[in-house]
Homo-oligomer: A and B are copies of this chain.
Amino acid sequence: MMKTRRSDRLVDMTYYLLERPRTLVSLTYFANRYESAKSSISEDLSILKRTFQERGIGLLETVPGAAGGARFTPYMLKEEAAEFVSTLMNAIDDDTRVLPGGYVYLSDLLGQPWFLRCIGRLIATQYLREPIDAVMTAATKGVPVAQAVAEQLNVPFVIVRNDTKVTEGPTMSVNYVTGQSQRLEKMELSRRSLPMGSRVLIVDDFMKAGGTIRGMASLVKEFEGQVVGVAVVADGQVENRVVAKYTSLVHVNTDGEQGLIEVTPGNYATEVYSADTPVDLVHPETD
C-alpha cells in the first residue's frame, strides 16, 4: 500500500477505530498501515477526536509518546439520550403491547438494529470508566440486549439458560426463587463460556420483581466473579423488588385486566447524567 493522503487516512481510521471500541491502537500500527509519519497520524487523531466530540460519537483518548496510541470509547450524550428514551417511550406506549401477567410485548423493538444500537450505546455510556470483562443475560429475550451492549463495550456476552441443553457441555448451575410467584427454579451457564473471577455486567430486556437477575448475580458468585452493574431496558411495576440497585431506560406500568399501559422514563437519566458523571458527557467542550 502506498503512502496515503490525509483524507483517505481519516476515513479509514474512523472505520478502524469504530470497529474496535475500547481498544488501544498504537501510533506505530497506524503509521505502518498508512506508511505515514507518526506526527501526521497524531494530527489525524486530533481531527477525529474533535469531530467525535462535536458530534457526540464518543471519546477518543490519545496516549502520547512512542508507545502511545488512541482508544475510542463510544458514548451517548445527554440530549441524544433524552431523545432516544422519548422515542422508546412512544414506541412502547401502546395498549396492544399489554400481555397477560403484567408482561409487555417488546420483541419487535428488540429485533430492530437501530433500537438495539441505541440501547447498547446508552447502557455502555453508564460504564464509560469501568472495566468490564463480560455481559451476562438470560435466554432468550435478553440476548439481543446483551449482544448490543457487548458490541459497544467490545467484550464477550454469555447466555444463562433455564432449560438444560445437551449442546452446552459442562455447566455451573444455581437454584433461585422467582421474584413474584416464589417458585424454585434452576438456571445454568456453560462452564467454558465465562472465565472465573470475571467482572460482569448483567442486562435484560424486562425486569419485574428481579428474581431472574438475582439468580444471575448468584451465578456470577459461583464463577467467583463480581457484578459491576445491572441494566435493563424496561422495568415493570411490582410491590417487592428483590434487586435494589439497577438502571432502567423506561418504566412500564400495566393494568392487565383493563389492558392499559403507562410508560414513564426509567431511573437511567438521573443515575447517569448527574453531577458526578464525567463532565464531558454533560457539557462537551467545543473548540
Contacts and interface: CB of A to CB of B under 8 A. Distances in A.
Q: Chain A contact residues: over half helix, strand or loop, or mixed? A: helix
Contact of A10 (B7, B18, B192): B7
Interface string A137-166: 001110110011011001111110101001
Contacts of A252: none
Nearest to A98: B169
A231 to B, nearest CB: 17
Given A143-B140, A144-B143, A144-B147, A105 B167 contact: yes
A285 to B, nearest CB: 15
Interface residues of A, number: 55
Interface in A72-112: 99-101, 103, 105, 107-108, 111-112
B113 A156 contact: yes
A12 interface: yes
A105 B190 contact: yes
A55 interface: yes
